[in-house]
Structure 1
Amino acid sequence: MANSRSGDKLLDRMVRILESFTADEPLLTVAQIAERADLPAATAYRLVGDLADQGLVVREAGGVRLGLRLWELANRASAARDLRRIALPYLEDLNQLLRQHTQLSVLHEDEVLVLERLSRPGAAVNKADVAGRLPVHRTSMGMVLLAFAPAHVQADYLARHGASAAERHGDIRRLLTDIRHHGYASFHGFVDDTTTGAAAPILDRSGHAVAAVGVVIPRGSDALAAVVMALMTAARGASRDLQGGGGRPVSH
């Protein structure tokens, strides 16, 4: 792979270009891309052109956005696609039963990555977006994923973020143990002051979380106990389907 004068590989530069886009800013000018990807303007223009030729980005009047071909390639043989297929019927049942937003997420690169979200008109505020990322120890989904993660994943995360996690939760290790004991996580006002988030793990045969099913409800709702029961039932069903060979685990 050819290197630039700065020593960057071509692939590294192209990945930085693709990572410049966010859910909040899906349309960027080439100048903005160059700044975010730390590239000379001429290099950014050339590489954006190459990516556009392959359909990985699309040029529009106002700038550049990610192309559908990128989404197509990512979904052809994705373990996340299998996981979504297994979990989706349970998410749909929860969405219909609880009449609140439901979502599916995994632990990825020290963040919660949202794979699916089912919306509901008039439901509580929910800031989880598909392909969006959320902080681990500030979300119920993140905490349940961490609690049921393999020991080395949990230890590595706490080695990097233990101080900030303890600042919010106090004895974070004890809290993670409690979550494992109860089988779910629920917190008030983590992402939005007006809501309560609850999540339960989808487990592989070793008892480790490969994903989390989450629900957001209005804070102070009397329905929390019923929500948790329905959530855990759905997560157990998805776990049985996964363990029965319906899909491949998603790597952490």
Structure 2
Amino acid sequence: MKINKPISPTDGLTRANPSAEYTRFLNEYIELHKTKAFDGRSIRKFIGTITKLIHEHQCRTLLDYGAGKGTLYTDQYHKLTDDIDQPLQAYWKLDEVALYEPARPGYDRLPNRTFDAVICTDVLEHIPESDLGWVIDELFSKANKLLFLNIATFPAMKKFADGTNVHISIFNFLSWLQFIEPIQKQYPYVTVHAYFDEITENGIGKTSGYQLKGRDANNQNSVQTETIAAQSA
């Protein structure tokens, strides 16, 4: 597994010009979305955390980037959790929520505007390493205040038809942080909260959380990384 090396995307790739690998896997995900897979349940354990962050950053609008089927935003939310009593957009008291899912017809057009908060859970590990640069830059470009990430650092249970694991970019949390931090410097007013799902040497699942602080209006504070409260996976 590629967990100890730096993340090295391919130069020159963009949304308009992604890698052939990105296009191939996207077509695979389109087929997988025709099944019951990717219903958006990965947000469940972070509902409380995101609620707190939305309040702290005074967010009124939110983009869920890679929302899957977005079940928690529908009247079927109760099929995934008993922790909320209404769909997420109402529970979070937001003025607007947009769902983007490139593998789902009807939700495959990225909104041409920015949002106070952007959340991206169980997505980046599914993106080819070659395309991680433009995808993460795109996430930052859509956020005005807050970017919330959840990334798995181990193989998934699901595989593509050819046997390839659907987690195609597997790196440890430090590699991810070292990759994300320089990109954040181009978006100094966006604060990042990144939670990494990990498997310990004893085979126990855990989630470690980190914060990459945005700089103040006078650009006086350098971006810092610090461990924050984590939840069990």
Give the TM-score of the pair, scaled to structure 1: 0.29
- Ranked by relative contact order (alpha carbons within 8 Å, sequence separation 6 or more), the top structure is 2
Q: Which has the higher helix share?
A: 1
Give the TM-score of the pair, scaled to structure 2: 0.30
